[in-house]
Amino acid sequence: MDIFTIVYLLMFFFGIFFLMIFLVLHNRYYSYLFKSPEIKNYPSISFLVPAYNEQDSLEETIKSLIEIEYPASKKEIIIINDGSTDNTLKIAKSLQKKYSNILVLDKKNSGKANSLNEALKIAKGELIAVVDADSYPKKDALINMVGHFQDLNVAAVTSRVLVKNKNNWLGKFQVMDYSIIAWTRKLLDFVDSVYVTNGPLSIYRKSVVKKLGGFDPKNLTEDIEITWHILSEGYNTRMSYNAIVYTTVPESLKVWIKQRVRWNLGGLQTVHKYWRTMFKKGAFGYFVIPYVSASFVLALIGFFLMMRYLWIKGSYQVIALYYSFIGYDYLRYLEFSMSFTLLLFLGIIFFGLAVYYYKTGFKNSETGNKSVLNILAYSFFYRALYVIPLIIALYKLAKGDIRWYTK
């Protein structure tokens, strides 16, 4: 058995292992998927809305926060203008004049994390809700999230993000992508392993965030970093599957790649910062860090294995196929061995589980039931694109090119 066969076996093993974990979690906790704790008291809450050049979406976002179901006396909204060069500040000030519970914080451009830290200094709420300026929570989103904070060890609660703009092929694929991400994240909730509190809408216990020193301005994905920081200190994070927020997603492949490069860079930064906690500190050290680290490593290995196959095996098969047209028995030259048979068997199991996993996730999301053909298109076309921003991120990381990627 050669080294490449061993690598393939390990890839299939880990793939099947993680798929089985998620499917078992779904079957065991399905009845709790859409449940949230009932609110017994209403803590005060400050919405922090960092905005950089968001003139097209800011007003609609603020309107959704004004209309969200929660006692008005318990809400305040802080708009942080992060050195915008468009009409964002003008719109923010007009909203401040219109609504008494809105405060505008104007500052020089220094990134989202720093904006949140500045707002954190003046926020009056017991809880802080971070909302992207191009995101739109449903009216009952807050009600479905705040109840989790009755558990004093819960320091953060995140929401289910859905896609608002889905007009082209990329938007439609992202609808499927966000559905699977949210469903998987909810399953991780059942094992205390929600490792991302997303930017479109997440709520934090202010005292804990302050105790941890706020959001990390050096990290490109402050939402991932603060979640890992919270988990590393022994607090819990939760995900409310019935708290829905709509967000605007990239409509061009170029912008999509740019966004995902930032996500990958921030994720790699976070793994590097916390890898020493691996196999320590409960679910965070024993599951979250190994799981996320393995995701990066397996994606990279998978890419190189695919390139190797296309270059060596693929070219050979194409040439062999040509000779089959002039009389040679093509199937006669296919190599069957114990290793090949084992890999084929594991591949069939992995493929079958993956299709079932996606069908289950879509069925329990807003996308509804999807055909195997749709799942194949999503898996082999859209998901295959994931490797592009990962490779770019690794290249930029090697060059030391760590900077915030804006619109």
Cα–Cα distance for residue pair 45/204, rounded to 1 Å: 9
Instruction: Compute, in degrees rounded to 10, the torsion defined by CA atoms 281, 283, 289, 293.
Output: 150
E strand map for 164-247: 202-205, 236-247
Task: Give me the tens of pLDDT residue by residue for the chain, a chain 407 residues long.
Answer: 678 778 888 888 999 999 999 999 999 999 999 999 999 999 999 999 999 999 999 999 999 999 999 999 999 999 999 999 999 999 999 999 999 999 999 999 999 999 999 999 999 999 999 999 999 999 999 999 999 999 999 999 999 999 999 889 999 999 999 999 999 999 999 999 999 999 999 999 999 999 999 999 999 999 999 999 999 999 999 999 999 999 999 999 999 999 999 999 999 999 999 999 999 888 999 999 999 999 999 888 888 877 777 676 666 666 666 666 666 665 555 555 667 778 888 889 999 999 999 999 999 998 998 999 999 999 999 998 999 999 999 999 888 877 655 44
- Across the beta sheet with 45-51, the strand order is 102-107, 75-82, 45-51, 127-130, 202-205, 154-163, 236-247, 135-137
Q: Kindly give, in sequence order, each residue whose CB lies less than 8 Å from that of residue 147, ignoring residues fewer than 6 positions away.
A: 36, 37, 38, 39, 40
CB 163 within 8 A of CB 180: no
- Rounded to whole angstroms, how far apart are CA atoms 339 and 5? 7
Quick check: 203 and 145 in contact, CB under 8 A?
yes
Which conformational region is residue 46 in: left (phi greater than 0), alpha (psi within -120 to 50 degrees), or beta? beta
Q: CA 126, CA 403: separation in Å to the nearest integer?
A: 32
CB 288 within 8 A of CB 195: yes
The DSSP secondary-structure symbol of 38 reads P
Three-point CA angle 32, 37, 42, nearest 5°: 160
Domain ranges of the chain: 3-27+291-399, 38-287
Do the beta carbons of residue 194 and residue 239 sit within 8 Å?
yes
Q: How far apart are CA 204 and CA 226, in angstroms?
A: 10
Where do we find the tokens 């799942």? 375
Q: Decide if 118 contacts 107 (C-beta within 8 A).
A: yes
Q: How far, in Å, CA of 236 to CA of 281, rounded?
A: 12
Segment holding 147, helix H or strand E: none
Distance CA 253, CA 381 (A): 13
Give me the pLDDT at residue 407, please: 46
So what's the pLDDT on residue 406? 46
Provide the sign of the torsion angle of the four alpha carbons 66, 69, 74, 80, taken in this order: negative
Query: Residues in the chain, how many?
Result: 407
> How far, in Å, are 41, 107, 128, 151, 186 from residue 141 at the CA level?
16, 29, 14, 19, 15
Report domain 38-287's class.
Answer: alpha beta
